[in-house]
Structure 1
Amino acid sequence: MATEVVSVRVPLRGTGHNLRAIKVVLHREMLRFLNDRTRMASMLVQPVLWLFIMGTGLGTLVQGSIPGVDFRTFMYPGMISMTVIMTAMFSAGSIVWDREFGFLREMLVAPVGRGAIVIGKCLGGAVVATGQGVIILALAGLVGVPYDPVLMLTLLGEMFLAAFTITAFGTTFAARMKNMQSFFGMMQMAIMPMMFLSGAMFPLAGLPSWLHVLTTINPLTYAVDPMRQAVFGHLDVTPEVNAMLNPGVHWFGWQVPVALELGMVALVGAAFLGVAIAQFRRTD
């Protein structure tokens, strides 16, 4: 009796398959985040504490030197950035969980380009982090920031760009990490100094020369400053207070335009995305 051979057809890789893979990975990231209420709450606690407790405490010390401005208003763009960055970092770290539980291997053997998996991951992390940042946007009125539609849309776009870049940055490292402890140790060592040197918690005006250099070469500075420029552009403050709290980023006395800052963040994000894709193509 002849044995019947059943042919198995593996679908060819193509643009359609890759687009569906991006959609599936993005959708999975959103479902994973929405189903983890503890993670949602924990990601909000730290920025809210910094904004309403630390901001109020520091505000009592400097209120005489910044008349008409609540110091929490100054800190608000930085707290948006902190929320987005921390959420994006955790989204990138989920790759390490997927590797430990074997789900990553299942994705890598799928008949889709590995670049599609990375893009879906970065887009998913950016969408999740931006959604988390929307909650901080809802608190704007409590710290003296107006609910202006143009301002809200501007901050939303800038949050998404920052979140995408941080997720791509984290994905680059997560592609080679074997456990969560190593990943988050590396991320804390990299992200926390960058966060503190971005001007999220203190003005960039009047800094010592060494600290000014560090803030200038810090990529996160160019993600935080456009948000602060957008917020202060919708506030009625004196030129002196604006120069103190919102001086912008300067290169040898020249103020860097917001468009160039956003372009630099996008360029860094694209570079890390390319590195992450290359890392995944070498992943076993």
Structure 2
Amino acid sequence: MSEAPAVPRPGSADRVHPAGLELLLIPPRARTGWRVLPARVGAMCAVELQKIRHDRTELYTRAVQPALWLLIFGETFTRIKAIPTGGIPYIDYLAPGIIAQSAMFIAIFYGIQIIWERDAGILTKLLVTPTPRSALITGKAFASGLKAVIQAVVVVVIAALLGVGMTWNPLRLLGVAVAVILGSAFFSCLSMTIAGIVLSRDRLMGIGQ
């Protein structure tokens, strides 16, 4: 008895799809084990970077405050010499404090952002995905550190234009960047933790102040 003739495959099966279409037709292999968390953290960091790239108004508006502190308060107190600084200009004292203050302000408002996302339903959609909650927090902490570094660069540039005495040693500047990133990430995580406890923007604002 002869075998049944083979069913001819459609022409589309033999066609080689471009690399972009293969991702749509053939799902990628799922990551397992220890590779899951780093992949999710990287994805959430990329999401936060996309937010910053698409909406840069927050970066510009937040850069105004440290600039005003340096240009107005720093120059004013330096000229009137109301605070004794031992011969060192007052603005030299003020510049590092403004960097720390800017990083802390950015970090504190991430708790408010979590509450906004919860009220809008965005947080609920993220929590039902396979993404670990630690990856969500890490992504937002990464964005907080990045914004703080951008503000620190603005402060350093303005301080240099105003004649603030500082070192240009690359290792020390890198140390400042690392300290700003870690400090901002710590306070953003603390702010989001408090936001998860109080569940209210008004209470969080009071604690933040």
TM-score by length of 1: 0.55
Q: Which runs of 5 or more residues in structure 1 are unaligned?
A: 1-10, 189-284
Is 1:98 aligned with 2:106?
no
**TM-aligned CA deviation for residue 18 of structure 1:** 1.9
Equivalent position of 1:136 in the other structure? 155
| 1:158 maps to which of 154, 179, 183 | 179
C-alpha distance in 2, partners of 1:103/1:129?
24
Higher helix content, 1 or 2: 2
Is 1:18 aligned with 2:37?
yes
- State whether residues 126 and 160 of structure 1, in contact with CA within 8 Å, keep that contact through their aligned partners in structure 2: yes
C-alpha distance in 2, partners of 1:119/1:91?
12
| 2:73 maps to which of 22, 43, 54 | 54
Residue by residue over 1:80-131, the C-alpha shift from the partner in whole angstroms, topping out at 9 and shown as x without a partner, is 0111111222234321221111111111111232222222222232223223
SS in 2 for 1:138: helix
Residues 39 and 107 of structure 1: is their aligned pair in 2 closer, same or farther, counting only changes over 3 Å?
A: same
Residues 152 and 95 of structure 1: is their aligned pair in 2 closer, same or farther, counting only changes over 3 Å?
A: same
Q: Which runs of 4+ in 1 moved over 6 A?
A: none
Aligned length: 178
Q: In the alignment, residue 169 of structure 2 is paired with which amino acid?
A: D
Task: Work out which of the two has the higher radius of gyration on C-alpha atoms and give 1 or 2.
Answer: 2
Equivalent position of 2:54 in the other structure? 35
Q: Please give the residue correspondences for 1:1-284 in structure 2 after superposition, counting only pairs within 5 Å.
A: 14-62=33-81, 65-66=84-85, 68-141=87-160, 142=162, 143-188=164-209
C-alpha distance in 2, partners of 1:74/1:178?
37
C-alpha distance in 2, partners of 1:150/1:43?
27
- State whether residues 177 and 183 of structure 1, in contact with CA within 8 Å, keep that contact through their aligned partners in structure 2: yes
Using CA pairs under 8 Å that are at least 6 residues apart, name the structure with larger relative contact order, 1 or 2: 2
Q: In the alignment, residue 80 of structure 2 is paired with which amino acid?
A: L
- State whether residues 106 and 147 of structure 2, in contact with CA within 8 Å, keep that contact through their aligned partners in structure 1: yes
**TM-aligned CA deviation for residue 37 of structure 1:** 2.9
**TM-aligned CA deviation for residue 178 of structure 1:** 4.0
**TM-aligned CA deviation for residue 55 of structure 1:** 1.5
- Percent identical among aligned pairs is 25
Q: Which runs of 5 or more residues in structure 2 are unaligned?
A: 1-29
TM-score by length of 2: 0.73
